[in-house]
């Protein structure tokens, strides 16, 4: 176990640094492009170094070509004065070679072993100078050559070549490289420093935002100023403000809920204590003791029901995202709830029944949590049982329906009763926690319908209430759940 702990610490991924990532993405291309810049600079330097020395080679070839004269028998003659020959080879750095060949390939002057132009090289017009790279006695040389036709009868032109080693060119190219790259060596650290300072300056607003958030009091949920941050950070600040607003609403709701819950539990608990005190009085008769015990029982039942409803509401508010979803047959769930509630309905003399499609009917299934959905249906049915009176003259009737709309294929569930109904102004208020309709003379926690709405919203359903029998003395209530819409 100890070694596993060490492995976790060793391979634990370090937290990413936004500053470091930006710096990496800015400096990495710079460091990768720098060698490419060196190579390109070297190529450019080679071209620049070749140009002046190539011109000198061309001039020498043209000067030698002027010394070729026509001779007897279609032959050519070449004569180079000694001073000119010495001047041609007077180079302190590089070795200079030259060669003159006649029309038949015979050697006229210069170095015999100077390589000839490639066989596929175009001869071009007379006196047109060409440049090539070649090798002479193991040394790389730059060669300028031209073909010369003295008259139209000449079948083969004469060849004049001048070659020079590349030492001066390499020295000049190296000087160009130094002149270009040495400043870059000095500028590269400066560029890195400037990038570093720019990043420090660029992320400073984030540090200031962090300081403002840290300086806040724990109970300060006011929105952050999204105008004092950069444009790129503004969406993050807006999202944080939205989160703060929702958190503020949640805290307000929780505080109100706790206050209401404490108020609701205070009454039955106070009744329990009072009845217990009455039962403990000296001189109480057996009849008084029984009445106190009955009151204690009713108060405990009321307190238990309120606590259960509070737990159900808490589970409904937090269970939609935590509990797994599955395909639920609403007809089967409704049947289970009706079987559970039937004894209580019979005790009150109520007619509790079901109308609608059969179990397994296509379209009667929803994706949801069966526990929450069953709790939702149970609250609707128990609410109807609780508020629907039943007398020998007029029996209370409660009907649960599960229907599938033939046009929209939407699933609809209804719980209908023939009780006193809910006045129109109060039909939206009854879905608020701890609200109870006036004039019913029935005790309740006021939490059943809020639980129904919360579970319905989590399952993408809407809930509404209407009069079941318009125009009658007891219009009743019809609660409708329509799945597939929010």
The model's pLDDT over 44-59, given as tens digits with 9 standing for 90+, comes to: 877 777 788 888 888 8
pLDDT band at 9 (very low <50, low <70, confident <90, very high): very low
CB 151 within 8 Å of CB 68: no
CB 386 within 8 Å of CB 442: yes
Q: Report pLDDT for 221.
A: 81
CB 458 within 8 Å of CB 471: no
pLDDT band at 105 (very low <50, low <70, confident <90, very high): confident
1 pLDDT exceeds 50?
no
> pLDDT tens for residues 215-248?
888 878 888 887 777 787 788 888 888 888 888 8
Name the β-bridge partners of 106.
none
387 pLDDT exceeds 80?
yes
Q: CB atoms < 10 A from the CB of 216, how many?
A: 11
Q: Closest by alpha carbon to 49, among 84, 94, 114, 89?
A: 94
Distances (CA, A) of 404 to 195, 330, 353, 369, 481: 66, 11, 18, 20, 12
439 pLDDT exceeds 70?
no
Mean pLDDT of all residues belonging to the chain: 79
Q: Report pLDDT for 417.
A: 92
10 pLDDT exceeds 50?
no
Beta strand 139-148 with 129-136: parallel, antiparallel or unpaired? antiparallel
256 pLDDT exceeds 70?
no
CB 93 within 8 Å of CB 166: no
CB 160 within 8 Å of CB 114: no
**What percent of the chain has pLDDT above 90?**
12
Mean per-residue pLDDT, 56-73: 82
Q: For the CA atoms of the chain, what is the radius of gyration? A: 51
Q: Closest by alpha carbon to 110, among 37, 148, 55, 60?
A: 60
Match 């720098």 to its residue by tokens.
34
SS3 399: strand
> pLDDT tens for residues 273-318?
776 776 677 666 777 777 777 777 766 766 676 666 666 656 555 5
Q: Report pLDDT for 289.
A: 73
- List, edge to edge, every strand of the sheet that includes 411-417: 351-356, 397-404, 411-417, 477-483, 461-466
**CATH code, residues 213-319:** 1.10.287.130
Lowest-pLDDT range, 85-99, 211-225, 355-369? 85-99
Q: Report pLDDT for 8.
A: 43
Mean per-residue pLDDT, 74-99: 73
Q: Report pLDDT for 7.
A: 47
**Whole-structure pTM value:** 0.47
**120, 126, 131, 133: CA torsion to nearest 10:** 40
Alpha-carbon gap, residue 3 to 80, rounded angstroms: 90
**CATH code, residues 41-173:** 3.30.450
Mean per-residue pLDDT, 173-177: 81
Beta strand 351-356 with 397-404: parallel, antiparallel or unpaired? parallel
Structure letter (DSSP) for residue 426: G
CATH topology of domain 323-483: Heat Shock Protein 90 (3.30.565)
Output the furthest CA–CA distance in the chain (Å, rounded). 166
Q: Closest by alpha carbon to 126, among 146, 143, 108?
A: 146
Q: Report pLDDT for 446.
A: 64
pLDDT band at 351 (very low <50, low <70, confident <90, very high): very high
Q: Where are the domains of the chain?
A: 41-173, 213-319, 323-483
Is there a common fold for 41-173 and 213-319?
A: no
Name the β-bridge partners of 400.
354, 415
Query: What phi and psi, each to the nearest 5 degrees, are found at residue 80?
Result: -120, 120
Mean per-residue pLDDT, 180-186: 77
**294, 297, 301, 304: CA torsion to nearest 10:** 160
Q: Closest by alpha carbon to 319, among 355, 353, 369?
A: 369
């Amino acid at each position: 176990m100890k070694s596993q702990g060490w492995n976790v610490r060793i391979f634990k991924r370090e937290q990413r640094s936004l500053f470091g990532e930006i710096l990496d993405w800015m400096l990495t291309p710079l460091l990768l492009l720098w060698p490419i810049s060196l190579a390109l600079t070297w190529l450019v330097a080679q071209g620049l170094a070749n140009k002046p020395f190539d011109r000198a080679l061309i001039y020498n070839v043209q000067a030698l070509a002027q010394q070729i004269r026509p001779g007897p028998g279609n032959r050519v003659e070449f004569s180079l004065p000694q001073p000119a020959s010495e001047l041609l080879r007077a180079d302190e750095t590089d070795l200079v070679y030259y060669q003159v060949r006649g029309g038949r390939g015979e050697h006229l002057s210069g170095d015999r072993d100077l390589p000839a132009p490639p066989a596929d090289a175009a001869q071009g017009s007379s006196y047109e100078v060409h440049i090539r790279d070649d090798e002479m006695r193991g040394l790389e040389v730059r060669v300028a050559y031209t073909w010369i036709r003295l008259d139209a009868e000449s079948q083969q032109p004469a060849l004049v070549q001048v070659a020079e080693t590349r030492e001066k060119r390499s020295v000049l190219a190296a000087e160009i490289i130094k002149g270009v790259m040495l400043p870059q060596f000095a500028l590269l650290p400066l560029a890195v420093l400037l990038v570093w300072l720019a990043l420090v300056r660029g992320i400073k607003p984030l540090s200031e935002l962090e300081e403002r958030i840290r300086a806040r009091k724990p109970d300060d949920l006011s929105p952050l100023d999204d105008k004092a941050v950069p444009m790129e950070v503004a969406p993050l600040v807006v999202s944080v403000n939205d989160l703060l607003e929702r958190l503020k609403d949640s805290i307000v709701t929780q505080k109100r809920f706790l206050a209401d819950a404490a108020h609701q539990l205070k009454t039955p608990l106070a009744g329990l204590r009072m009845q217990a005190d009455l039962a403990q009085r000296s001189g109480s008769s057996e009849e008084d003791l029984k009445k106190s015990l009955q009151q204690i029982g009713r108060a405990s039942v009321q307190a238990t029901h309120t606590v259960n409803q509070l737990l159900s509401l808490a589970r409904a508010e937090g269970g939609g995202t935590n509990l797994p979803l599955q395909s639920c047959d609403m007809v089967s769930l409704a049947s289970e709830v009706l079987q559970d509630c039937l004894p209580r309905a019979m005790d009150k003399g109520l007619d509790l029944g079901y109308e609608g499609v059969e179990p397994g009917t296509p379209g009667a299934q929803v994706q949801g949590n069966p526990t929450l959905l069953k709790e939702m249906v149970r609250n609707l049915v128990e609410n109807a049982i609780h508020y629907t009176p039943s007398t020998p003259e007029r029996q209370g009737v409660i009907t649960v329906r599960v229907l599938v709309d033939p046009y929209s294929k939407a699933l609809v569930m209804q719980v209908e009763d023939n009780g006193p109904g809910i006045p129109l102004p109060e039909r939206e208020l009854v879905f608020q926690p701890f609200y109870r309709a006036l004039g019913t003379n029935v005790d309740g926690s006021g939490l059943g319908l809020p639980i129904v709405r919360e579970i319905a919203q989590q399952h993408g359903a809407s809930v509404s209430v209407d009069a079941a029998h318009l125009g009658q003395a007891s219009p009743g209530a019809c609660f409708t759940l329509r799945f597939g819409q929010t």
